[in-house]
Structure 1
Amino acid sequence: MLITDDFLPVPVPESLSATYLVPMAGLPRVSAKTAVRALAGRLAEPVYGLAAQMLDSPLMSVDTRPIAEFPALPPDLLTAFGATGAQLDRLAAATHLVVVQAEYRPGWPPAHEWAARAVAAAVADTVGGDVVDVFGLQFLDPATALRSLPDDQGRIRLVDWVLVPYSSDADGLWFTTKGLRRFGLLELQTQGVPDHLTRAWGAVMTGAARRLLRDWTDGLAGEEVPAFVQLPVLATITGHDIAVAYGNPEQHGATAPVLLRLELDPATDPEADSFLSLRPPPGHPGPAGRYFAAACATLFNGIQPDVRYARRGDAMSAAIATARAGLDDIRARFLAGGLPGESQLVVKYGLPADEGPEYVWAGVTSWESPERIVGASVTDADTDPTVRIGSPVTIEATDVVDWAILDGTGVTEGGWTQAVLDADDRPTLP
């Protein structure tokens, strides 16, 4: 193996395993094979066939055990990763667990994960129960588990398989991934992230996971599993990586790439995990947090991904009126291809919320009807869990309060409400 300063050798495990649980009161009504056959037409053919094949092989086992024989699942961690009270109640009432386990070699596709999740979802579907992903300590209802599996082209949303938890420490926020080990890769971490970049850096971590996972699986593409895969020390992350990780590959994102340096942080405790750390590239002056903020500004085209609520006042009212007055003109320019090259049109619109509208941004992809805009979200929403970075959205023009044209340097036209929020001053109106 060639070792250079440009690549980092990362060890490859000999095999990978997946474990899923289906809690139930009583014994299963049907066999796992019968449950999987009931999914014909609901699962993409590659996964349906894979699940059936692995069920007939020694690579997968499906056992039903009294729940007392299985180590107790920690309710506090399950809650932290999204478990509802109803799901925890069903777990407490369960008498048995169906345990689905699969093993496979590192590489792509991750047959152990896809097949085990499909079989567990099939079994849970027959009893209206839940799937517990042991690796992620997550509850999944059967429909959610099935939606996370690959489509006919083998595509997945990485956010369905990799979580990005974070916590505070003395230097800021500490982000990690939880899910890359499913594929044999070490988890990522970033330390010293400024507090105001919570959502933005979570998206960057997800995009970085997508980029490095692609490099990782490319290194495992041969017939023999290597002992190491060499990952680039300088990882290049783009807006497209983020969009693809969130399941919207059509949105390439007119953003400049950012560089992140990859370092191996081996665990000193044999019981602890080693990490691949994401740091600023060599030669960056100043604290790491400053670079992370600049990277987010680049990847999100100058639009702050943090949720902002419009403030009342004459300046904001004037800004919204100005933006709305220009909607017909900017739509005509967009349809005529009259916007500057390598630029992107984004609109800001309101989502209903108990405390008043939450305003978020979306990139415009189609505007055939004056009343309706089709686009992709460039922010995560607090009030609507379906609105995530890269997710497709349909917007009523009456809900739009602002628009902007972006290039690689930021806002070049529009953005009047953002000017009020950022500068707390009356915008300059045309």
Structure 2
Amino acid sequence: MLITDDFLPVPVPESLSATYLVPMAGLPRVSPKTAVRALAGRLADPVYGLATQMLDSPLMSVDTRTIDEFPQLPPDLLTAFGATEAQLGRLAAASHLVVVRAEYRPGWPPAHEWAARAVAAAVAESVDGDVVDVFGLQFLDPATALRSLPDAQGRIRLVDWVLVPYSSDSEGLWFTTKGLRRFGMLELQTQGVPDHLTRAWGAVLTGAARRLLRDWTDGLAGEEVPAFVQLPVLATVTGHDIAVAYGNPEQHGATAPVLLRLELDPATDPEADSFLSLRPPPGHPGPDGRYYATACATLFSGIEPDVRYARSGDAMSRAIATARAGLDDIRARFLADGLPPESQLVVKYGLPGDDGPEYVWAGVNSWDSPERIVGASASDANTDPTVRIGSPVVVPVAEVVDWAVLDGTGVIEGGWTQAVLDAGERPHPTH
């Protein structure tokens, strides 16, 4: 194996395993094979075939045990990863667990994960129960588990398989991934992320996971499993990587790539996990947090995806009025391809919330009707769980309060309300 300064050799495990549980009161109603047959026509052929084949092979086991035979699952961690009171209640009332285990070699497809999750979902559906993903310590209802499995083209949303938890310390936020080890790869981490980038950096790390996972599986494409896969020391992340990871490949925007340096951070405790750390590239001046903020500004079209609420006052009122007065002109320029090359038009609009409107940004894809804009969200919304980074949105023009033209450096025109929020400055129309 060639080792250079451009690549980092990452060890490959010999085999991978997946474990899923189905808690139930009493014994299963049907056999696993019968449960899986009920999914015929509802699962994409690659997954349905994998599940049925692995059920008939030594690579998968499905056992029913009494609840006392399995180590107790930690309720506090299950709650931290989204378990509801109803799900915890059903677990507490369960007398038995169906334990689905599968093993497979590292590489793509991750047959152990896809097949085990499919079989567990089929068994859970047969008893109106839940699936517990032991690796992620997550409850999944059967419908959610089935939706996370690949489509006929083998595509998945990485966010259904990789979580990005974070915690806070004196240096800022510490982000990690939880799910890349399903595919044999080390988890990613970033330390010292500024607090105001909570949403943004979670998306960036998800996009980085998508890009590096592709490099990882490419390195495992041969017939023999290698001892190491060489990952690039300087990894690139784009808006397209983020959009694909969130399941919206067509909503990728034209963002410049961001460079991140990959470092191996081996665990000193044999019981702890090693990580791949993402840091600024060599030669970056100033603190790491400043680079992370710049990276987010680049990937999210020059505007932070963190939710901002409009402040009342004359300056904000004038900013909104200035932006709205220019809507007809900016639409005409957009439709006539009159905007600067390699630029993007974004609009800010309000979503209804209990504490007043929540203002978020969206990239403009089409504006055929004067009354509505079709685009892609540039941020996750607090008030509407369907509005996620890269998700398609339809914006009534009557609800638009600002617009901006962006290039790789940030806002080059417009953005009057953002100027008021960021700097407290009075808006001045640009020409």
Letter in 2 for 1:355: D
Alignment-derived partner of residue 303 in structure 1: 303
The 5-angstrom pairing of residues 109-188 of structure 1 reads: 109-188=109-188
Hey, what's the Cα distance between the residues in 2 that align with 1:402 and 1:127?
Answer: 51
User: Per the alignment, in what secondary structure is the counterpart of residue 153 of structure 1?
Assistant: coil
Whether 2:278 is the aligned partner of 1:245: answer no
Unaligned runs of 5+ in 1: none
Identity %: 89
Letter in 2 for 1:105: R
Alignment-derived partner of residue 408 in structure 1: 408
**Cα deviations by residue, 1:148-176 (Å, 9 ceiling, x for unpaired):** 11111111111111111111122111111
User: Per the alignment, in what secondary structure is the counterpart of residue 379 of structure 1?
Assistant: coil
Alignment-derived partner of residue 40 in structure 1: 40
Alignment-derived partner of residue 80 in structure 2: 80
Letter in 1 for 2:51: A
**Cα deviations by residue, 1:320-355 (Å, 9 ceiling, x for unpaired):** 222223323322322232222211111111111111
Whether 2:429 is the aligned partner of 1:429: answer yes
Alignment-derived partner of residue 267 in structure 1: 267
User: Per the alignment, in what secondary structure is the counterpart of residue 124 of structure 2?
Assistant: helix
The 5-angstrom pairing of residues 30-429 of structure 1 reads: 30-429=30-429
Residue 87 of structure 2 contacts residue 139 of structure 2 at CA under 8 Å; is this kept in 1? yes
Hey, what's the Cα distance between the residues in 1 that align with 2:30 and 2:373?
Answer: 47
Hey, what's the Cα distance between the residues in 2 that align with 1:141 and 1:284?
Answer: 45
Between 1:194-203 and 1:212-221, the stretch displaced more is: 194-203
Hey, what's the Cα distance between the residues in 2 that align with 1:127 and 1:400?
Answer: 48
User: Per the alignment, in what secondary structure is the counterpart of residue 373 of structure 2?
Assistant: strand
User: Per the alignment, in what secondary structure is the counterpart of residue 192 of structure 1?
Assistant: strand
What's the offset of the Cα at 1:197? Answer: 1.1
User: Per the alignment, in what secondary structure is the counterpart of residue 52 of structure 1?
Assistant: helix
User: Per the alignment, in what secondary structure is the counterpart of residue 159 of structure 2?
Assistant: helix
Letter in 2 for 1:188: L
Hey, what's the Cα distance between the residues in 2 that align with 1:373 and 1:32?
Answer: 48
Between 1:12-21 and 1:368-377, the stretch displaced more is: 368-377
Letter in 2 for 1:375: G
User: Per the alignment, in what secondary structure is the counterpart of residue 99 of structure 2?
Assistant: strand
TM-score under structure 2 length normalisation: 0.97
Letter in 1 for 2:160: D
Hey, what's the Cα distance between the residues in 2 that align with 1:3 and 1:187?
Answer: 21
What's the offset of the Cα at 1:426? Answer: 2.3
Residue 22 of structure 2 contacts residue 99 of structure 2 at CA under 8 Å; is this kept in 1? yes
Hey, what's the Cα distance between the residues in 2 that align with 1:335 and 1:38?
Answer: 50
Hey, what's the Cα distance between the residues in 2 that align with 1:333 and 1:119?
Answer: 53
Residue 8 of structure 2 contacts residue 233 of structure 2 at CA under 8 Å; is this kept in 1? yes
**Cα deviations by residue, 1:30-58 (Å, 9 ceiling, x for unpaired):** 22112212112221121112111111111
Between 1:163-172 and 1:328-337, the stretch displaced more is: 328-337
Unaligned runs of 5+ in 2: none
What's the offset of the Cα at 1:79? Answer: 0.6
Hey, what's the Cα distance between the residues in 1 that align with 2:401 and 2:366?
Answer: 18
Hey, what's the Cα distance between the residues in 1 that align with 2:155 and 2:186?
Answer: 22
Hey, what's the Cα distance between the residues in 2 that align with 1:394 and 1:409?
Answer: 27
Q: Which runs of 4+ in 1 moved over 6 A?
A: none
Hey, what's the Cα distance between the residues in 2 that align with 1:95 and 1:245?
Answer: 38
Between 1:409-418 and 1:68-77, the stretch displaced more is: 409-418
Hey, what's the Cα distance between the residues in 1 that align with 2:289 and 2:276?
Answer: 18
User: Per the alignment, in what secondary structure is the counterpart of residue 368 of structure 2?
Assistant: strand
Hey, what's the Cα distance between the residues in 1 that align with 2:11 and 2:244?
Answer: 26
Hey, what's the Cα distance between the residues in 1 that align with 2:146 and 2:337?
Answer: 40
Residue 377 of structure 2 contacts residue 389 of structure 2 at CA under 8 Å; is this kept in 1? yes
What's the offset of the Cα at 1:99? Answer: 0.9
What's the offset of the Cα at 1:27? Answer: 1.4
